[in-house]
Amino acid sequence: MPELEVIGCRAGSPGVCGPASGYLLNVQGLSVLIDCGPGVVAALAKDDRVADLDAVIVSHAHADHCSDLTALAYHRSFPRRLPPIPLFAPPELRPVLELMDRAFGIPSLEELRTPIATTTALHPLLPQAEQEILGLRVATFTMHHPIQTFALRFPSIGFTYTADGALSDALVEFASGSELLLAEATYLNSEGRDLGGHGHMTAEGAGELARRAGVQHLMVTHFADCAERDAIRARAESTFEGSVTAASPGVTFALSAA
Ligand SMILES: [Zn+2]
Ligand SMILES: [Zn+2]
């Protein structure tokens, strides 16, 4: 049975609620890491699970979703080199990865000169498209966010992840009918927030998305303030009558799809 496990749920950086964005999708015998924010590799390494990864998908090039790719690359480089794994990401991530490798590679060591490029095989995620990742169908939707950011939907297992971005009618349609919606709810409320300009959702917005999309279960995540996590879950329940969970490291959700 496919299962989603939360590795990290904090917006911006690690916090008392654990690492920044990172989710492990176990499906079809594969272990797929979705987003690789700061703290994610430490959490996986603690349980010796970095070597188990079959693929990585990154939603966008903000640091809280991708900056641990360098740590991942070094971890898979020594003491023994692990086989390269596919890395799927929006085209805009490529120059960022090249910059990271130029900044953090070790020119005097051939095998560590470009750690990310050496330990991963980069594949572009196409916007507004459906493609196959190791036999798993994945659809993308371009979120309203300052840089190219893809929400992800896995139609065969009924799972949708919003990544970062604002609520929109088109997003409702994209998430429609999911069994599990993992939605960013960065803020408890909209006071003093430029939701439309920067592109984020509140707890009520995530609940509204879940309700309008007719999903079965909502998991809220990407908390700006870890202390607001339970309040965000409760506020999301005010606009969505289905079951709601607040993401937290170690929380899992078993999807019913075969
Ligand atoms: Zn973020
Ligand atoms: Zn972002």
Check which CATH number belongs to the domain holding 49 and give it.
3.60.15.10
- Strands (E) in 73-232, as ranges, are 85-89, 120-124, 130-133, 136-142, 150-154, 159-161, 180-184, 217-221
Q: What radius of gyration, in Å, describes the C-alpha atoms of the chain?
A: 17
Distance 143 CA to ligand 2 centre (A): 10
What is the pLDDT, as a whole number, of residue 195? 78
CA of 236: how far to CAs of 165, 179, 203, 206, 242, in Å?
16, 17, 5, 6, 10
Phi-psi region of 250 (alpha: psi -120 to 50; beta: other; left: phi over 0): left
What is the pLDDT, as a whole number, of residue 198? 82
Distance 222 CA to ligand 2 centre (A): 10
Note whether residue 254 is domain-resident: no
Distance 57 CA to ligand 1 centre (A): 14
Longest Cα separation, the chain? 58
Angle at 245 between CA 11 and CA 59, to 5 degrees: 40
Ligand number, closest to the Cα atom of 147: 2
Note whether residue 257 is domain-resident: no
Burial-class residue 254 by CB neighbours within 10 Å (0-12, 13-18, 19+).
exposed
Q: Which residues of the chain have pLDDT under 70?
A: 258
Alpha-carbon span 258 to 240, nearest angstrom: 26
Distance 223 CA to ligand 1 centre (A): 9
Alpha-carbon span 253 to 6, nearest angstrom: 9
Alpha-carbon span 21 to 38, nearest angstrom: 8
Burial-class residue 39 by CB neighbours within 10 Å (0-12, 13-18, 19+).
buried
Ligand number, closest to the Cα atom of 223: 1
What is the pLDDT, as a whole number, of residue 258? 53
Alpha-carbon span 181 to 244, nearest angstrom: 10
Distance 145 CA to ligand 2 centre (A): 7
What is the pLDDT, as a whole number, of residue 190? 86
Domain count, the chain: 1
Q: What are phi and psi of 23, to 5 degrees?
A: -140, 135
Distance 110 CA to ligand 1 centre (A): 33
Ligand number, closest to the Cα atom of 149: 2
Domain that residue 72 falls in: 3-249
Please give the model's pTM, rounded to 2 decimal places: 0.97
Note whether residue 241 is domain-resident: yes
Note whether residue 172 is domain-resident: yes
Distance 232 CA to ligand 2 centre (A): 19
Ligand number, closest to the Cα atom of 150: 2
Which structure tokens are listed for 189?
């409320």
Note whether residue 121 is domain-resident: yes
